[in-house]
Structure 1
Amino acid sequence: MKIDTNTWGWFQIGKLFDKFETGKGHDTLLNDGDDCLYLGAKKSDNGVMRTCATDDSMLQEGNCIVFICNGAGSVGYANYMDKPFIATTDLVLGYADWLNKKTGLFVATVLCKERFKYSFGRKWKTYLRSTEIKLPVTADGKPDWAWIESYIDSLHSEPLTTGNETNNVNSLEVGNWREFYVGELFDSIYKVASYHDDELTSVSIGNKNAIAYVTRTDQDNGVKSLVCDIGLANIEPGNAIVIGDTTSTISYQPSPFVAGEHIIAARAGWLNKFTGLFITCLLRQERYRYSYGRAYKLDLIRNTKLKLPVMPDGKPDWQFMENYIKSLPYGDRL
């Protein structure tokens, strides 16, 4: 199905939703557990910060749009949440009788296109109800929810399945691990040659000349867009861990890519998509040490310490790391 927004109509958010609620949770009020999701001001991972024990005093109903009204880098984004959860006070939750998973995902996507209007100086919470979005309409001028559901169905996406079970995940006995400097783990860590946006031509998914344009974004595994690789001299091979040296954004890139400014690549013979994801997760745990006043530059990266599982001879146990990632739910789909 094709989209022609010229035929769509404008609708005010305050009139689309039946009610709005503000999140009631805070990290310090939560108890450890795995039976409830805790959502924060975060666009990635559908806003999920962690799991926690259920607390009925803070629990919100599912089947709602989650508006991120505060938070560095995520103000103005929206997510759809289908199940009960606990939310921070940075979130406003919108409920309506037309909401289901299909309409929710569609509207959340449209809402995200409006985020450029809102930042720290113009908070979404103040202007949320008066914000207007464009939606397909019926003959009588109402939102065409049936068309929206049909459009989502036409995308031919299927839920991702896994044969791995949670109770079969390999255990982590970190007490026996030892520390390694990042600089001694990798064969090379270097700054990547960069491109500016205006030097590149965007292309669509499926284009035979498409290549990932990796920047310091924390979204979409660091890929800002797909660009045409014709005539580009500075193409990086895949199978690299990529770090944004001013933002501490970290990702594993399996395929060739071109990079924006301030991108560092780390390469090693032991690196593959499984060990790469394992090390990427550990590096992300170190992000809190590096911010605007202490950028994650080459020397700091090389001198960062990571605690890793080891073999009897004291070397990193790369096979254990690979097997661990493979044992996780959806690890069989990587």
Structure 2
Amino acid sequence: MNKIKTIPLNKIFNISYGSQLDLNKLEIDLKNGINFISRSRENLGVQTKIKKLSNKTLFKKGSITVTLGGSYLLSSFVQKEDFYTAQNIKVLIPKQPLNDAQKKFYCYAIEHNRFRYTSHGREANKTLDDLLVPSLDSIPDWVNTSKIKTPNRKAVLNKQLTLDIENWQKFDYSEIFNIKKGNTPKKQNDGSVFLVSATGLNNGVSKTVASATNPNKRGLITVSSNGAVGDAFYQNQDFYATGDVNILFPNFDCNQFVAMFLITVIRQEKFRFNYGRKWGKEKMLSHKIKLPVNKNNQPDWQFMEDYIKSLPYSKSL
């Protein structure tokens, strides 16, 4: 195996701070606006769309954005449309032509250095430019030959649905779910069954292990009770889970569309668990979840399903 040659990131990219804008000072324009990139790991970092600004440089699609601080520092994305950025984000523009696969490779290489930094501690502002990454001639051949399936952007339902949160009602988690704590297999030999842990990455999956006892069946929701507290995921394959994960067994007929709606609602509770607070099974059972209701004041599962189906990319679920 050839030794990988590493060089500073700024030998491959022209690196600069982004627009350094504050969203609360900008005008939202969802219909005709420009993508606004925030310090998020969701949706390529795109938070919303804003009106075009005459006094700010418009960064071009194909550039890479890198988050320099916060909870998701070094989150790196190839932007699909022209954009502006929030504070504490750098923009990388290749010094020579790179294809999409090569750009994504460098995104992964950058994110792989996240362990060197801490949220709200050592951040990447001063050191990103000199970060060592593989040189162009060290990029593995499979990067250019692998074919990644493009997700279907279409919605299942061709209609617009709105969320009227004011009329939602609260329900005990125990009314909606049977909640169990994860139980890590005693032996974790390499295998093909997902092991879900308290991470906010990779759908919560930290590794794959050999099947020992009966794994949890697919179609369940997992929620981190420690670590990345409140990160919720829908598991579409059989899995095991560690003790830092709550496994939610629905008390109703649940499909992937309803599950995606629910995990989005659950994630809105993350802010309650800063500074080391945990969200164990018993605490979760005592909490409430706010949901849309039908005319009988019961959770409106059909609306939740239809809402997710009305969104772009729902055909890819």
| Fold match by TM threshold 0.5 | yes
Question: In structure 1, what is the equivalent of residue 249 of structure 2?
Answer: 267
2:135 equivalent to 1:135: yes
Q: What secondary structure does 2:298 align onto?
A: coil
Distance 1:248 1:124 in 2: 26
- Measured against aligned partners, the alpha-carbon deviations of 1:258-287 in whole angstroms (never above 9, x if no partner) come to 112311111123222121111111111222
Residue 200 of structure 1, aligned match among 171, 188, 198: 188
- Measured against aligned partners, the alpha-carbon deviations of 1:132-180 in whole angstroms (never above 9, x if no partner) come to 212352xxxxx77xxx7x7445212232224438962333344443322
How far the C-alpha of 1:244 sits from its partner, in A, is 1.0
2:286 equivalent to 1:303: yes
Output aligned runs, 1:114-125, within 5 Å: 114-119=113-118, 121-125=121-125
Question: In structure 1, what is the equivalent of residue 8 of structure 2?
Answer: 12
2:90 equivalent to 1:92: yes
Distance 1:317 1:70 in 2: 39
Residues 293, 90 of structure 1: alpha-carbon distance in 2 compared, 3 angstrom cutoff? same
Identity of aligned residues (%): 23
2:237 equivalent to 1:249: no
Output aligned runs, 1:1-334, within 5 Å: 4=1, 6-34=2-30, 35-58=33-56, 59-72=58-71, 74-96=72-94, 97-119=96-118, 121-137=121-137, 151-164=142-155, 168-186=159-177, 188-195=178-185, 199-203=187-191, 210-229=192-211, 232-233=212-213, 235-246=215-226, 247-268=229-250, 269-334=252-317
Structure 2 residue ranges without an equivalent (≥5): none
Q: What secondary structure does 1:212 align onto?
A: strand
Structure 1 residue ranges without an equivalent (≥5): 138-142, 204-209
Aligned partners of 1:68 and 1:77 also within 8 Å: yes
Distance 1:225 1:82 in 2: 30
Give the count of matched residue pairs.
309
Q: Which amino acid is 1:245 matched to?
A: S
Q: Which amino acid is 1:302 matched to?
A: L
Q: Normalized against structure 1, the TM-score is what? A: 0.81
Residues 19, 218 of structure 1: alpha-carbon distance in 2 compared, 3 angstrom cutoff? closer
Q: Normalized against structure 2, the TM-score is what? A: 0.85
Q: Which amino acid is 1:118 matched to?
A: Y
Distance 2:8 2:134 in 1: 9
Residues 189, 90 of structure 1: alpha-carbon distance in 2 compared, 3 angstrom cutoff? same
